[in-house]
Structure 1
Amino acid sequence: MKKVLLLILTSGACIIVYSFIIYWDTIYGVIKVNLPKLDQFGSRELTTTSNSNQGSLRSIDQSVTTEKTIVSTKLLNKLYLEKSLMPGNFTNSLVTSTHFPVRENLAKNYITITFQGRLGNLLFEYASLYGIAEHHNMIPVIEGGCHLKKVLKISATSGQKLANVKRYNEVKGCTFEKEAFNLDRKYNWILNGYFQSWKYFVDSSEHIRKELKFKDSIQHEATNQFHKILNLKGISNTSTYVAVHVRRGDMVHSSVMTKYGYTSADKRYIDDAMTSFQLNFSNPFFIFSSDDISWCKTHFTKENTAFILQKNSPEVDMAIMTNCNHSIITTGSYGWWIAWLIGGKTIYYKNYPVKGSELDKVFNSETYRPPSWIAL
């Protein structure tokens, strides 16, 4: 009897083993479907129900579905690197472990700038940050409350305080410092200064023109006001539109500023610049923007002139002027950016700053103004 039972048990075991071998593919398939998928680098398929996690990943990697997020090796490396370089920025990230294989060539450090001043200064700072970042293959980061994010369609991300940071402090103001193009790529960097030179971003100009697009609401308002100005004067589309920016204000009335070397253009310069356009273009029409518009209205009274009279924000005024074809500028970074954004022919006031002044000692006209602009 024992031999019979032993024979039955042995036969049963053999049948089970044989069945397991025969149906192994099916069993393995079921297990494979129900387990997370891992590749040789540790990539895995994760299920997430957090809307915030999906939103943050969507901005980093486009391989996102409504039910599952495929986290590729490249994404894991990117999240790991950004988590280590920007503490706290990915506290809700799906990736919480640091045991992922990180490839050195994927690493990109960050660079930011201390924003200061008004719109013209901010534009110089952002454009130079972008150009310096692109030169070093770094990622530009700006603070979340930066005014430019409210008025422009800039793409730079906002982040928290950087770790492993070095600072570059600008030595002079209106000049190009080549040392800013030789930063150690092992560190994250903070730039301090105004960086007012076209040479910081000349190689990135095409990208920056796309970055410095005014938001739709601002551009819409500016376009409406521009056409109202033309309609009031009965100006046709056959005219050549010339933006004239006149900076006076503190450059005329502040003794501290004038003593340091700041100055404003006189009426003769503007008359000569307007004459130059009249000689070289058919039907030029001049639109004035100024912090002293009453002075402009008093001194320029010809029929082919108009003025922005409405009290606008600086960005709306600048957007109005960028509807023009060419520009005449006096002094200051605000007028500089009107000219740069317009393109076309630009005439600038050559007697700025005052020769021999303290400002003149830190000012380099060749690196401050593009070489295609015309001094008068």
Structure 2
Amino acid sequence: MMRHVQKRLLLVLKFSLAFAVIGYLLWVNRHLVMHTAKFFVDDIYRSCVYQRRNYELEEKSSPLYVTKERHGRLGNWLFGYSSLLGIAKANGYIPYFLRSHPLNNHFQLSKIRSYPAECLFDVYDEQPCSYTPEMMNLPTGNISIDGYIQSWKYFRFIENELRQELKVHPHMAQYAKKLFNEYVGHHVAAGRLVISIHVRRGDVLKPEARKLGFCHAPKEYFDNAMNYMLKLFPYSVFLVTSDDISWCRENIQPPVLRDVLSSAKLSKIKSDNPKIKSSIFDETVPIVFSKSHSSWDDFSLLMLCNHSILSVGTFGWWGAWFARGHVVYYDGFPLPGSKVDYETDKEDFFPSDWVALSVSASVQSWHLLWLVFLCAMWNALLFCKVS
């Protein structure tokens, strides 16, 4: 009886293993499986496959199109459109977004169509924040890219063209300048540079986001970033935008300039700018917090600043790209070993001239000392128990 049960269990295990292997193979080759199923079931899809073969025989004699599936929000859309233009140019294809795409509401896009191109074949981007060289050599046929394609390397060779393409609608640009002037106009008139600080919290604080590898930049990072920027641009004002402005008001407090710069540096600033009163060196550096509840208003402000401090996400990334100034970003994102970490190559995601910063060295040392103390206490407790 026992042997019979063992045989049945062994048989169940064999079938379970076989199903697991088959399931894994189907998942790994899911795109091929979907293609094969659609080829036999869908007449229109099958005719498109034949059309694609004709394209190959004609050696691309017909104009070919490439577009992208819609994902995410503003920062993701800007990455998608910009990368699409670079990929299209590398392949000799015609890029487009549909006229109904929400990015058209903000920018005067020229690469648009009212209807999708015929016989679009999907190409998948498996690593959203990394550069995939295969995108620069697409298969023959009309292509729809499914994924985020978020790397500056896709459009680095068309940057001048891209900046001409990504023009905000005139009435929106005019409103942005008015808003910017209301916030920091008097500081600019006094000769100060404007350094933006974008703080993303909101959705990245959720447990499900953290499991994926998202995180927020801590207070210590912003302290370090402000000090870093002030050493480069001492006569500045900080402009803060965020989805959690209350947290920013409580935690982002700029330093006194005399605490950041040496006496020699302060003397040079005074000699270069005789109109500046020495008393400002003993005052807190000015900081302005956005009062807007509109994400587009905040984005407009980021675009007009001289330099940029980023936290995490693509929203601040693009604000800094438009601003063109000196940029620092939080090096603690994403969380090591996470899904987002696997999908992100920092060299591909952040331009090479942007500067990675973490928390200050003093805070890092304090954390290390605290860890050493805890380890010592734990070892002491174990020793006591053994004794």
TM-score of the pair, normalised by structure 1: 0.69
What residue number does 1:244 align with? Answer: 197
What residue number does 2:360 align with? Answer: none
Q: Does structure 1 residue 364 correspond to structure 2 residue 345?
A: yes
Pairwise CA distance, 1:290? 0.4
Which structure has more RCO (C-alpha within 8 Å, separation ≥ 6)? 2
* Alpha-carbon separation, structure 2, partners of 1:355 and 1:333: 19
Q: Does structure 1 residue 262 correspond to structure 2 residue 214?
A: yes
What residue number does 2:24 align with? Answer: none
What residue number does 2:330 align with? Answer: 349
Pairwise CA distance, 1:303? 4.6
Name the amino acid aligned to 1:342: A
Pairwise CA distance, 1:162? 2.1
Aligned partner (choices 311, 326, 331) of residue 330 of structure 1: 311
Contact 2:85 2:95 in 1 (8 A): yes
Report the RMSD for the aligned CA atoms in angstroms: 1.9
What residue number does 1:152 align with? Answer: 107
Name the amino acid aligned to 1:216: P
Contact 1:141 1:159 in 2 (8 A): no
* Alpha-carbon separation, structure 1, partners of 2:166 and 2:201: 25
Pairwise CA distance, 1:105? 8.3
Pairwise CA distance, 1:362? 1.6
Contact 1:247 1:332 in 2 (8 A): yes
Name the amino acid aligned to 1:133: A
Structure 1 residues 105 and 193: CA distance shift in structure 2, 3 A: closer
* Alpha-carbon separation, structure 1, partners of 2:114 and 2:187: 49
Pairwise CA distance, 1:234? 5.0
Q: Does structure 1 residue 174 correspond to structure 2 residue 129?
A: yes
More helix by share: 2
Pairwise CA distance, 1:284? 1.3
Q: Which runs of 5+ in 1 are unaligned?
A: 1-84, 86-102
Name the amino acid aligned to 1:306: V
* Alpha-carbon separation, structure 1, partners of 2:143 and 2:188: 50
* Alpha-carbon separation, structure 1, partners of 2:301 and 2:127: 32
What residue number does 2:293 align with? Answer: 311
What residue number does 1:133 align with? Answer: 88
* Alpha-carbon separation, structure 2, partners of 1:250 and 1:332: 11
Using the aligned pairs only, state the percent identity. 32
Aligned partner (choices 237, 241, 258) of residue 289 of structure 1: 241
* Alpha-carbon separation, structure 2, partners of 1:150 and 1:161: 19
1:272-305, CA deviations, whole angstroms, 9 ceiling, x for partnerless residues?
1111111111311110010001111112344511
Pairwise CA distance, 1:122? 0.6
SS in 2 for 1:213: coil
* Alpha-carbon separation, structure 2, partners of 1:162 and 1:138: 12
SS in 2 for 1:217: helix
| Pair member with larger Rg | 1
Structure 1 residues 237 and 167: CA distance shift in structure 2, 3 A: farther
Query: How many residues in Structure 1 have an aligned counterpart in Structure 2?
Result: 271
Aligned partner (choices 270, 276, 293) of residue 228 of structure 2: 276
What residue number does 2:375 align with? Answer: none
